[in-house]
Amino acid sequence: MSIATIVSQSTPSGFSAIGVIRLSGDMATKIAANLSNNKSVLKHKKATIRPVFIKKRLVDEAIFTAFLSPKSYTGEDVVEISCHGNLHVCEAIITETVRLGARIAEPGEYTKRAFLNGKLNLLQAESVSLLINARSIEAVKQQTKNLSGGVTKKIMQIKETLLTILSFLELEYGIYHAKGGLGTVTERMGALAEELGVEICLNEPVEECLFDGKKIVGLKTGKNTYTAKKYVMNVDFATGMKGLIPDKLRKRWSNNKLDKKSYSCSTFMLYLGVDKKYDLDHHQIYASQNYHTNLKDVTENKITWDDPSLYVQNVCLTDPSMAPEGHSAIYVLVPVSNVHKSINWDEIKHDYRDVVLETMKKLGYDDLKEHIVSETIVTPDDWGERDIYKGAVFNLAHGLDQMLWRRPQNRFEELDDLFLVGGGTHPGSGLPTIFESGRIGAKLICSDLGIEPDWNGVDTWFPDLKKPKPKR
């Protein structure tokens, strides 16, 4: 695809010794050649004096300097024409370049192109405009520092440090294992809720939500219609929105907008029953030798056939109750692309399983294949069929543009009395965060209903949220 060539005057318009006109794009050097009626190739970073013709009439002599792609400010072919800074000369040259195929650049378009072509990051791109418009030498110094990448380097260092802290905490202090697997946490929470008088109706999916204008007023399942003062939706966010809330009731989270959001990766899973015990670590992560290519494959909807990264859990080392005596339950998770039309998992899942088992040899599972007595494979397509939008098991991706207030809020802003919890909502995906979404939702509901919660004596109320007065 050819990139439109843009032109503009880089120096102020008026009358001065020199005026600089800049061209950027695929046709920049060609337009410059036509302008000077000189077909000899402009060389990178080399300045040459050439005549400037407008409709075959000589109007000026100028210095032409080329900065060829990718080694230019925008990353495209750039030609700078330094002519005499006469208003009429500059205007005539710009008009002529437009006649020859360029178009007038939009404000900030050179810097936008530099950002889109990876020549500047966002902070540097913003700094360009701030530097140009800086009103004091101190402001100039600050923006120059940003532009030279000093602040970006510091931010990256902080980011790396934070990520290292997480790994350090897990390595140094360990993490908890819920005996019987994570499902027992949910079961225990359910049992506690029942002790408090909650009736839990399983195997009864909500088929329809009922509305009165912008207010949710009821739920229909295959068995019953339920009404309540407040409603909490825990189903995968995009699936719940698309399946249960009509598009016309949603603006911020319309179907169209949901489709444009970015979603996490998915996972290819092996759940293996094995007639052997392995004296290998509870958690092991194998990082592909081509780690970056592997990550790129995941985001570009490709499959890494050669040496994928994977996580293996040998749970029986810590919790023998997870398998019969002398046996093991092995859990293998391979991060892969979310559901995509170019990948048909049913066709390839058995071949991929063999690749995964082969890769596991590098973690010490040499003879695993001969000891498998039961096996379940779950692919992204399977997750997708289990109500997980695009099979993206970690839900809406955690980019800065989809976090904090940019994530679906726990008090759903588009409908009255509806609260959202789960990985696709604020604060985010991952079990601890998901439980936090439940706690935030509960606090909001308590505040609305005037119920003062008893958090085991710990006051975790939001300071800016109305706290109910204790009942006498």
Nearest to 145 by CA among 130, 160, 135: 130
Considering only the stretches 86-94, 158-166, 234-242, 445-453, report the one whose residues sit in contact with ligand FAD under the rule CB under 6 A: 234-242
Residue keyed to tokens 């998901």? 434
Nearest to 109 by CA among 28, 24, 20: 24
Tokens of 72: 């230019």
Comparing CB distances to ligand FAD, the nearer of 85 and 422 is 422
Amino acid symbol at 218: G
Backbone angles phi, psi at 312, to 5 degrees: -125, 135
Residue 427: is the preceding peptide bond cis (ω within 30°)? yes
Nearest to 265 by CA among 120, 395, 98, 128: 395
Comparing CB distances to ligand FAD, the nearer of 328 and 429 is 429
x/- letters, 277..316, toward ligand FAD (CB under 6 A): ----------------------------------------
Our finding on whether 209 is near ligand FAD (CB under 6 A) is no
CB 392 within 8 A of CB 266: yes
Comparing CB distances to ligand FAD, the nearer of 246 and 430 is 430
Q: Which of 333, 339, 356, 440 is close enough to bind ligand FAD by CB under 6 A? A: 333
CB of 283 to ligand FAD, least distance (A): 10
Comparing CB distances to ligand FAD, the nearer of 435 and 461 is 435
- What is the footprint of ligand FAD within residues 389-428 (CB under 6 A)? 393-394, 422-423
CB of 119 to ligand FAD, least distance (A): 37
Residue keyed to tokens 């006498």? 472
Q: Which of 375, 385, 387, 413 is close enough to bind ligand FAD by CB under 6 A? A: 387
In angstroms, the CA 127 to CA 139 distance is 10
CB 99 within 8 A of CB 88: no
Is residue 241 within a helix (H) or strand (E), and if so which, with residue range?
Answer: helix 237-244
Our finding on whether 235 is near ligand FAD (CB under 6 A) is yes
Comparing CB distances to ligand FAD, the nearer of 175 and 196 is 175
Q: Which of 36, 72, 74, 267 is close enough to bind ligand FAD by CB under 6 A? A: 267
CB of 263 to ligand FAD, least distance (A): 12
Alpha helices (H) in 117-217, listed in sequence order: 122-132, 137-147, 150-173, 183-195
Our finding on whether 205 is near ligand FAD (CB under 6 A) is yes
Which residues form the interface with ligand FAD (CB under 6 A)? 205-206, 234-236, 267, 269, 333, 387, 393-394, 422-423, 429-431, 434
